[in-house]
Amino acid sequence: MRLLMILSFSLFSSVIYASPVTFVCNYDSYSNTTGNHKVKSKFVLTFIVDNKNESAYIIGNNGSEKVAYFSHPMGGNAFVEVTTTKNIMSTAIDNKGNSVHSRNTLLNGGLIPSQYYGKCETKI
């Protein structure tokens, strides 16, 4: 029975996601080398997935960029961005809309890690 529910959900999800899907993610806290913090300014990332053209984009405060998109077979989504300076940014969104956005930034040979936590809303 459980397998049937999973298969039904998977088939239903693929039908829903046949048209472009937008994930609007609001992050209200983050962690870095000094601890956990509340964001001081609104931090929103928007991801657009175009399944028809097999492409995904991130829209943030610095414009939009194409990103790699991965849909987990049991639900959830992940995005990976490689910036023009070759830094790696990754975002994961679970079935409940919980999200983590990780920034692995190298600057002047040093690492500046940070991880943001928030919620995403799916718009079809």
Buried b (16+ CB within 10 A) or exposed e, 20-56: bbebbbebeebeeeeeeeeeeeebebbbbbeeeeeeb
Nearest of 28, 27, 29 to residue 46 by alpha carbon:
27
- How does pLDDT run across 50-91, given as a tens digit for each residue? 988 889 999 977 788 999 999 988 899 999 999 989 999 999
- How does pLDDT run across 4-36, given as a tens digit for each residue? 333 333 433 444 456 899 999 999 999 999 999
Element (H, E) at 16: helix 2-16
Q: Which tokens is 78 given?
A: 């992940």
Using a cut of 0.85, tell me whether the model's pTM lies above it.
no
Domain 2-123 fold is Porin (2.40.160)
* Residue-range domain boundaries for the chain: 2-123
Q: Which tokens is 64 given?
A: 């939009």
